[in-house]
Amino acid sequence: MVSVRQPVVPPHRVVLRACQCCQSPQEHHMKKLLICLDGTWNEAADNAAQDDTNVIRLFRAAQHFKSPSQLAFYFQGVGSKLFEKLRGGILGHGLFDQVKQAYQEIVNNYTPGDRIFIAGFSRGAFSARCLASFIATCGILQNHTLDVADFLDNRAIEELWELYAQRSEERAKLNSFCAANCFPRKEPIVEAVAVWDTVGALGIPWGIFEQNSAVELLSKVNARKYSFLDPELPSSIPRAYHAVALDEQRVPFEPSLFSGPRVDNGQIQQVWFAGAHSNVGGGFADTGLSDIALDWMIRQLSSNHGLNLQPVKLDPAGLWDPVGQTDMDKKATKVDPKRLHLLRPRIVTANALLHPSADQRLKGAPGHDPIPCKAQFQGPYQIAPN
């Protein structure tokens, strides 16, 4: 059973929690905490007309195993309600709230020795990566520091957040606050980050408004507000997994890739998959391609980290599904095709990892012609282990 905790979140936010068995507060068994952050304009579908992303499906895969040793939390995307779509999708409103809300759930449930996993898609992937960096820098507040239930009014979290935002000038104050209020850190707190197609330099795609100069200016001004956030993988986090879309061409959806030696040595598994943005992160009615990316992520988290996750039932025919088009694209095309999006193929660097399914589409198979992808390759690629 999934419960919706209305009292502790503002009306436009929803937190879903996996069912928890009773556990004595005096007893602590090391547990796994899975934090799932959905993307801009995404939320859990509550009727057949909606289609779930891989983030909510990952949450439900964890929810299938009800145990006090594994807790899962789902946070809907920024701007998933009608009034929030413009403010959240174009101007970035609510990104801080999503990160802080997820952080409070961690504070409420964390005990030293627990293992944290953070997942996200699209802009939720950006939030997931920033949350991981925030925790790596600050640690976890001891929950007795929380003075009220509502994270938006919680002074301890707000003070920590402000010090983190000013850490380049206030490092001593941040360190002092963390030493007094956070659990001592003796091991990695976040064990892995698992994300699908992180987009935008700040995770803020402009959508159909990208050629509107006023909105573009507001977006760039607003981006400065978020400049202290850090989407790179901290050295204290052992592993990251990033599923990236080969066929996405919209410039506002340019991927925010991990880079550096940890990609080369395999600590960061950055793997390219066939399909556009929502073919990889989910959200289309046809799930053949997104099932493959979800299956890969579940395999990584299960085999490498021991998370109990319900496997995906793959349909072999789904490999050959066509690349999808978002409803936003279709509506925009009807209004003015020229104002839809600037298109530019994504760049795949030499020796990048392609999922075996993407390689198979490129080469074809008996009964299936090769399907070229829209990305531009700068050299030969490698096949990722499944």
Distance CA 55, CA 306 (A): 18
* Position with higher pLDDT, 198 vs 51: 198
- Poorest-pLDDT segment among 234-238, 302-306, 329-333: 329-333
Compare 111 and 20 and report the one with higher pLDDT: 111
Q: What is the pLDDT of residue 220?
A: 55
C-alpha gyration radius of the chain: 20
pLDDT of residue 98: 87
- Check pLDDT > 70 for residue 304: yes
In angstroms, the first-to-last Cα distance of the chain is 32
Report how far residue 141's alpha carbon sits from residue 213's, in angstroms, rounded to the nearest whole number: 42
User: What is the amino acid identity at position 165?
Assistant: A
Q: Which of 191, 190, 193, 161 is nearest to 178 (CA)?
A: 161
pLDDT in tens, 185-194: 878 899 999 9
The answer to whether 98 and 151 are in contact (CB under 8 A) is no
- Looking at residue 29, its pLDDT comes to 77
Residue 169 banded pLDDT, cuts 50, 70, 90: confident
pLDDT digits (tens, 9 = 90+) for 116-167: 999 999 989 999 999 999 999 999 999 876 655 554 457 889 999 999 999 8
Which pLDDT value is given to residue 40? 61
DSSP H/E element including 354:
strand 353-354
- Closest C-alpha to 18, from 109, 120, 101, 96: 109
Strand pairing report for 3-4 and 70-75: unpaired
The identity of residue 366, as a single letter, is: P
* pLDDT surpasses 60 at 89: no
CB 256 within 8 A of CB 200: yes
Task: Output the pLDDT for position 162.
Answer: 92
Query: Does 207 have pLDDT greater than 50?
Result: no
pLDDT digits (tens, 9 = 90+) for 267-282: 999 999 999 999 999 9
Cα separation, 289 vs 15, in Å, equals: 27
Cα 60 from Cα 231, distance rounded (Å): 26
User: Which two tokens mark 159?
Assistant: 């003070």
What value, to the nearest 5°, has the Cα angle with vertex 272 and ends 269 and 275?
Answer: 145
Q: Is the pLDDT of residue 19 over 60?
A: no
Mean of pLDDT values over 351-377: 97
Q: Which residue would you say has higher pLDDT here, 301 or 341?
A: 301
CB 193 within 8 A of CB 235: no
Gap between the Cα atoms of 332 and 339, Å rounded: 7
User: 130 vs 202, which has greater pLDDT?
Assistant: 130
φ and ψ of 206, to 5 deg? -85, -15
For residue 168, pLDDT beyond 90:
no
- Please answer whether residues 38 and 56 qualify as being in contact, where contact means their C-beta atoms are separated by less than 8 angstroms: yes
Instruction: Write the pLDDT tens digit of every residue in 29-84.
Output: 799 999 999 986 554 544 443 579 999 999 999 999 878 999 999 998 765 444 44
CB atoms under 10 Å from CB of 82, counted, come to: 8
Q: Long-range contacts for 171-178 (Cβ within 8 Å, ≥24 apart)?
A: 174/137, 174/138, 178/138, 178/139
Q: Which domains does the chain have, with CATH numbers?
A: 3-21+29-140+183-383 (3.40.50.1820)
Which tokens hold the place of 369? 């012609």
